[in-house]
Amino acid sequence: MNSIFKLAVGAAAIVASSTACSPAATAPGSAAPPASVAPSSATISSPDARSSAAISSPAASSGQQAVTLTVAGSDVTSSPLSLTVLLPPGWESFHFGADNGTSSPPAGMAFVVSLVYSTFANPCVHVQPSPKIGPTVADLATALGKIPDTTATQPVQTTIAGHNATYIELAIPASLPCTPSEFDFWQDSPGGDWWVQGLNETARIWIIDVDGQRVAFLTHAYPGSAADPKSVFEAILNSVVFSPASTRPSASPAASY
């Protein structure tokens, strides 16, 4: 699976395989819950790594394009997840996410959607925590806050695309104990690694529960990316519609703090 990830997103500079890394941005600001947008129903075509999806909704406008993505890690399970999302002009999709031309500094922007199998006690040498992190949204939020050599905000409860969500930001400094391509955030499955994309990066992460599967949207941005990268990501993620088998939002809050 790692080799497939590298081929699929090598040019897009953001997908899974072994390790990869990039330092992050200045300390993230306080996380204000975004306005929730109720998702509309969608008729979804079969997923395609880089092509637009033929869907009845959400409706694209003002140069937006509707694309179908696969949740990384779910493609090796018995219950693969797919979703549709509206991308702004200039954005390009790949199998597990999309970018605005590049995911790299100084001005790149990108996101991936992934299950989370495990984080790392040492992201540079892929030492997993012991015991392994638990299966809930709250377990992951806690584990992300403990990633060494990063600065994390407190988790905030919000909603994304009608799903209860937990939001957290991780600031990556101007230097790391290993190269950016070796500093991993997490694995979506054994061997499927997701990593920092650049120094001075701010990784914004929304975690939701979709029919009992923990799904995370990992976003990458830098001080030069946009005037308000968080709002850009919120607008994209609030357009998400999961495939018909996965459209039921979790009945209770994902976590409480």
Rounded Cα distance between 67 and 47, Å, is: 9
Angle at 254 between CA 250 and CA 257, to 5 degrees: 155
Res 130: pLDDT:
86
For range 151-180, the mean pLDDT: 96
Token readout for 160 is 């994304």
Q: pLDDT digits over 116-138, tens only?
A: 999 999 999 988 888 889 999 99
- Least confident range from 75-84, 134-143, 217-226: namely 75-84
Q: Are 6 and 193 in contact (CB under 8 A)?
A: no
Res 97: pLDDT:
98
Res 113: pLDDT:
98
Residues of the chain with pLDDT > 70, as a percent, come to 71
Q: Is the model's pLDDT at 200 over the cut of 80?
A: yes
Dihedral in degrees, nearest 10, Cα atoms 112, 107, 2, 78: 0
Q: Is the model's pLDDT at 22 over the cut of 50?
A: no
Checking 64-67 for CB contacts under 8 A at 24+ apart, the result is 64/88, 64/89, 65/91, 65/93, 67/93, 67/98
Residues of the chain with pLDDT > 90, as a percent, come to 62
Res 59: pLDDT:
62
Q: Are 226 and 236 in contact (CB under 8 A)?
A: no
